[in-house]
Structure 1
Amino acid sequence: MKSRNRLLARSIFLALISVHASPASAGSGSVIGNGGDPIFEFLQAARSSLSETVKVVLNDPNERKSFCTISRLNSGQIELCRKYFFETANQILDLNQLKPVHSPTDFVLRQDPLYVIGHDGKPMVVAAKTDLGKYGSIEFHRDSVKTLLPTQVLFLLAHEFQHKTTFEGRSVSDNESVPPFMNGRDLLDTVATALVEVAKRRGKVGTNFGIRDIFNCEARTSQTFGARISSSRRFHNEDLMAYESSIGKNPSDGTIYLPVDSKSTLALRYMMFEPNNCGDPNPDRVGVVQIVETKLEGGNTSEIVRASKPLVTNPICPGSSGRFEIETADVKFSCQYFGSEGTTSSQYSVQRAKR
């Protein structure tokens, strides 16, 4: 009974996130600006995980040999799973690479629910959809995707990108008959499941999403020193709109500093609370940049703020110059926003290394 319940739960989950959209079922919905949305960065991180995992299977003899050997599959299903993947794998890589002749497949986030036609001919709500064939974007329902784990988003991408490939001259749809599998969806889900297992085993996907904001910073005295520093966002609620970011504030933060003598340093400290994901104007936004002197005396560490000024503009927001700076008589610190990237933690690979 427990195994039947687990199978039912898995079927419901897969139905939610992995149904192909036929042209007749495509909905419009309102588009969310991708560039500043954290979910967009998470999808890009999952895209990277997908590409790296496909490369592992193609290039590692052991992974290549064992791919699709899932215990629930019979020999015919394993054979087709392997044949299908190895014919479509390079197409998946091509769809995710920037080349002179084309860009990677676009991702579009939508606020309104996405609908497709299910196997029973009735509309059903899904988290993502795309048209068959290599052209066109993949659409995602933001509220459905935002709560998924990295492994689940990787599964979702692996399924959708398979719709954009061709196998034996055509693209596979979800509801068509594909013996010895129940249907096309069953085949695509099986390949996606196998890819997720490889990604977990080889440390290509983690357990939590995150975003790093990257800055190019300089310290100027009689000479100039540079460093590229990443700042991890700390989200305040599940809608991912409010967050904090910092440089030189928390133990895990990077920073740039200038030694004053053997017992003291001058370091840059930057803090930003963003209440509404760059919604302007916003009086609740709080930012500050400081120069902090740290002294070590008698085994104790003390801090003195040598300079401080507020930041009204979030340097990572659209329309900002992306630059902030502060100085004293001894040093001038300046930083320029470089870009942001989605990340996943790698607890799977850490656990594997400990065994």
Structure 2
Amino acid sequence: MTEAMSSIESPNRSGGPPRGRATRVRRQRVRAAWLFLSPMLIGLALVAGWPLLRTLWFSFTDAELNDLAAAQWIGFENYLLYEDGIWYGVLADPDWWNAVGNTLYFTVVSVSLEVVLGVIVALVLNAKFRGRTLVRAAMLIPWAIPTVVSAQMWAWMLNDQFGILNHALMVLGVLDAPLAWTADANLSMWAVIMVDVWKTTPFVALLVLAALQMLPSDCYEAAEVDGIHPVRVFFRVTLPLITPALLVAVIFRVLDGLRIFDLVYVLTSNSASTMTMSVYARQQLVEFQDVGYGSAASTLLFLVISLIAVIYLYLGRRQLGVSR
């Protein structure tokens, strides 16, 4: 018993605190973390947990918006059903898969542009020049404007009859005739992407700028003394150091992109060329009043977002070397 107790309380090989004491400290930290997180978790369960469970329940019923109390259990019929040689359900609906494709395309293109432009803007704002504080404040204006407000503002500017964008391009000689940016199926998706990039690039730039402000100056001073080209310094030094902040920005923007609704709906309403998964679910719930079918679409969207979040957390833990 004495040998066992001494082995527990003995310092580890790395010269750190005794193993038993380290275990107790770790447990105390975990308990403290759960204690501080518990109010937020309780509030989240009340605010988000109940609606989520109710939506999941409705997805297995034939609920209609005009009489939710009369809903009957139908199993997975809203998701997929084979009857009389024909497949039914959300997973068999071409409009759903069109919405999935639109959502993924919008997310990939918009997030890629936002990351590239955000890094460029952050590098510019990280440099020392007169009026830098004013420029930083002005950069946040697009991000601070509510999405619905900015979407409606851009809807007016992109209008093919009185929009200022068409007028400016025609004055400059770029266009011969006004373009229907939000009505043309070939242009509407790019119009939505353009507005989203304008609004959320400052968010990415802000996170990257915060990471740039914390970088050590020794590496850059050494690179300047050695005469290394700035482009090479960026890819060899700066980019690896800001990668954690960049990954945080990417995952936030990917999750926002997958559940995009307000921007798309205000600019293009229910257009098939820009319909996202959220717009599809809203159309089924509100316009078609099919709560069961719309809840199934909403549940699938939730599962997609949850899967991506879990994969990100798993890869993040592996990158940090966390075994469990």
Q: TM-score, normalised by structure 2?
A: 0.28
Greater RCO structure (CA 8 Å; 6+ sep): 2
**TM-score w.r.t. length of structure 1:** 0.26
Structure (1 or 2) with the greater helix fraction: 2
